Amino acid sequence: MAILHLKQGKPQSERAEDDAKVRASVESILADIETRGDAAVRDLAQKFDGYTPPSFRLTASEIEAAMQKVSTRDMEDIAFAQTQIRSFAQAQRASMTDIEVETLPGVFLGHKNIPVQSVGCYVPGGKFPMVASAHMSVLTASVAGVPRIIASAPPVKGAPHPAIVAAMQKGGAHEIYVLGGIQAVGAMALGTETIEPVHMLVGPGNAFVAEAKRQLYGRVGIDLFAGPTETMVIADDTVDAELCATDLLGQAEHGYNSPACLITNSRKLADATLAEIDRLLKILPTAETASVSWRDYGDVILCDSYEEMLQVANDMAYEHVQVMTDRDDWFLSQMHSYGALFLGARTNVANGDKVIGTNHTLPTKKAGRYTGGLWVGKFLKTHSYQRITTDEAAASIGAYGSRLCMLEGFVGHAEQCNIRVRRYGGKNVPYGAAAE
C-alpha cells in the first residue's frame, strides 16, 4: 500500500489564489501607510477596529488602569507563565557566548552577540486575544537585552485588552500601542509622525499580518514567517481517536484557514479519528471556526511504515508536530523540518502555546525547512571582529592577502594588504603587484 490520503483539504492551486488576494491587499495598505503616515493608520484603525482614540500609545496611567481590571488569579497565572518562559530564555541566552581566539601568533578573531536595538512585537487579538504572544515576544526580547521594545495589539470590544496590556508591561515593553493588523506592523516598521520605526518585527498573526511582514522584510528584520497556525499529529495505535481528534481541533479553532493533519500507520485509528472529529464538532463551542478549517485544510494520511510517516512529516514541515507513538525519541532524532515537537501523549501543543516555556512563535508554510522558531537568539546579532597585534603577523597575513586579491584581479584590495607588508614587514612590494 502506498501513502494514502483518506481526507484532503483545499488543493494547492486554490490556496495560492487566496494568497494572491492577500498579497495585493497588503501591498496597497502598506503603500498608504508609507505615504500618509498617521492619517492612514487612523483610517485603517477606524475601518477594521472602529477604534480611534486621541493617541494609540497608552500612557502609564492607562496601562495601570487596564492592569487593575485583571483578576488576581489571572495575574498569578500570567506571572507563572512568564517565569517558565523567562527561565528557558535565560538558559538559551547563557548558551550564546562571545568568543575571541588567537588563530596565529598575533592574529585575534572574535565575535560578539549584540542585541537588536529596537523591536516591534505584534500580539494578535482578533477572534482570540493572544495574551501568551506578549510573553513570547516582549519577554524574550527583554531577556536578550533589547533597549527599545514596543508592543502592539488590537482593541477588544473597543478598548485595550487588560490581560494583554498586563502581559506586555510585565514582560518589559517600553511602549504599548492599541493597534491591530497591517496598520500595526506597518506603522512599527515604516514609522509615522508619532511612531519611531523599529529595526525588527516579531510575532504571529493572521494571513494579512504574515504577508505584511514578508513584504516589509528587508526594510526591517523579521523573526520568521509565522502565518496561520498549523498542527500535525503523528500517531500509531498506542493512542486513541479521542486524543488525536482533540489535539487536531484544538489548533483548527485558531482560524478559518488553520491546517490540521493526522499521519498514522493505523487504518483503525484514522477512521476512528475522522468519526471522533465529527462528534466533537457537534459540542465544541468554537466549532464554527474549527469545522471550516477542518473541512478546507484538514488532512488524514495513512502510511505503511514509520519511515513513510517520517518522510511525509519532514516534507510537510508543519509548525506544531505532536508525536504519540511507541518510538517518540526516534522521531525526535530523525525529524529535521518542523516548528516545534511535542513528544508523547502527556504533553500537547496548548502547553507550548501558553505556559510550558518554549516559544510559540514558530515557522509555518514549510519555513521550518530553513529556520527554527522565535527564541532569544533571534534578537541578537552575531558580529565578528579581527585584531592584529604584531608587525610579523601583519606582514605575513598581508602577503597571503595580497596574492589572493591579485588572483581575483582586485588590485585596490591587494594594495590594502601591500601597504602593510611594506610598513610592517619592511618589504619593497611594487605598486599593483602581488607580494612575495
The x, y and z cell numbers of residue 415, run together, are 594594495
Transcribe 383-423 into DSSP letters: EEEEEE-SHHHHHHHHHHHHHHHHHTT-HHHHHHHHHHHHH
Alpha-carbon Rg for the chain, nearest whole angstrom, is 26
Please give the Cα distance from 100 to 117 (Å, whole number): 23
Tell me whether residue 308 is one of the annotated catalytic residues.
no
Please give the Cα distance from 35 to 44 (Å, whole number): 13
Phi, psi of 343 (to 5 degrees): -100, 120
Tell me whether residue 111 is one of the annotated catalytic residues.
no
CA angle, 339 as apex, 146 and 99 as ends, to 5°?
45
Catalytic residue among 135, 254, 320, 360: 320
How crowded is the C-beta side of 280, counted as CA atoms within 13 Å? 23
Q: Are 245 and 276 in contact (CB under 8 A)?
A: yes
E strand segments, 84-196: 99-104, 107-115, 118-122, 148-153, 175-178
E strand segments, 134-246: 148-153, 175-178, 200-202, 221-222, 231-235
What is the helix (H) or strand (E) element at residue 298, kind and residue range?
Answer: strand 298-302
Catalytic residue among 319, 383, 413, 436: 319
Residue 19's identity, in one-letter code, is D
Which residues form the catalytic set?
319-320
